[in-house]
Amino acid sequence: MSPLLIFILALLFISGVGLIIFILLHSGKGTGISEMIAGSVYSSQTGTSIVEKNLDRITIAFAIIFLLSLIALMIFYPDGQIRPS
């Protein structure tokens, strides 16, 4: 496998796992993992909104990286087959 393919696949895997983790950290309607963490760390409402904004930014960044790595795979390997070099 070429180093480019290894890099793109690693980027795809890391961004996919990060995306799953940060989506699960988002709170729904007052319940969720982030609510438990933020509730114990921040007692005011402003602290929780800052945590949610940061979670949103990180989740969007992982989603963009995930999509860009998928597009890169489609461009560099359009037929879906990886030929040995």
Q: Is the pTM of this model over 0.95?
A: no
48-76 residue pLDDT tens: 678 888 899 999 999 999 999 999 999 98
Q: Is the pLDDT of residue 85 over 70?
A: no
Check residue 29 and give its pLDDT: 58
**Per-residue b or e along 35-54, where b marks 16 or more CB atoms closer than 10 Å to that residue's CB:** beebeeeeeeeeebeebbee
